[in-house]
Amino acid sequence: MIRFFSEDIEMPAISQPLLIDWIRQVIARHGKTAGEINYIFCSDQRMIETNRTFLQHDYFTDIITFDYTVAPQLSGDIYISLETVASNAQLLGTSYQNELNRVIIHGVLHLCGFKDKTPEDASRMRELEEEALSLLN
């Protein structure tokens, strides 16, 4: 089950059925199935509180993925700061919707086991994001 929630911020204008189909398609391409995946859209303030509380990180980020996967079924909570998504879209010269979709699928790719800490891993993650976005567009 893939669900979308908002905490302390307005729910973004998204087509949940379209996104759910797309997310399932990307998951299947990586040989996995969707378990319980919760997207929680929030503000920067909520995100930094989450980052401090659970990861002991004191900085803003666009996404935090809590992975509860029991292979091959993906499960997790994916927090997305809509304020950071908006500012990143502006910095990157892309649309808000495109950046939001990229971040949405970024969390799923983390649940699939892909990392982005090293330059090589980050490059591969970008390739996978672009591949996934091409399925949506």
Q: Give tens-digit pLDDT for 94-107.
A: 999 999 999 999 99
Q: What average pLDDT does the chain have?
A: 94
Spatial CB neighbours of 55, under 8 Å, sequence gap ≥ 6: 64
Q: Looking at residue 58, what is its pLDDT? A: 73
Q: Looking at residue 54, what is its pLDDT? A: 74
Q: Looking at residue 119, what is its pLDDT? A: 96
Number of domains, the chain:
1
How far apart CA 107 and CA 111 sit, in angstroms, is 6
Residue 12 carries which DSSP code?
A: P
How far apart CA 43 and CA 19 sit, in angstroms, is 21
Do the beta carbons of residue 23 and residue 32 sit within 8 Å?
A: no
Q: Which domain holds residue 68?
A: 2-136
How far apart CA 133 and CA 137 sit, in angstroms, is 6
Its pTM stands at 0.94
Q: Sorting pLDDT into bands at 50, 70 and 90, what band is 44? A: very high
CA distances to 75, 100, 103 from 137, in Å: 25, 13, 15
Q: What is the CATH number of the domain that holds 129?
A: 3.40.390.30
Do the beta carbons of residue 75 and residue 68 sit within 8 Å?
A: yes
Q: Looking at residue 71, what is its pLDDT? A: 84
Q: Give tens-digit pLDDT for 50-105.
A: 888 877 777 678 999 999 999 889 999 999 999 999 999 999 999 999 999 999 99
Residue with tokens 């089950």: 1
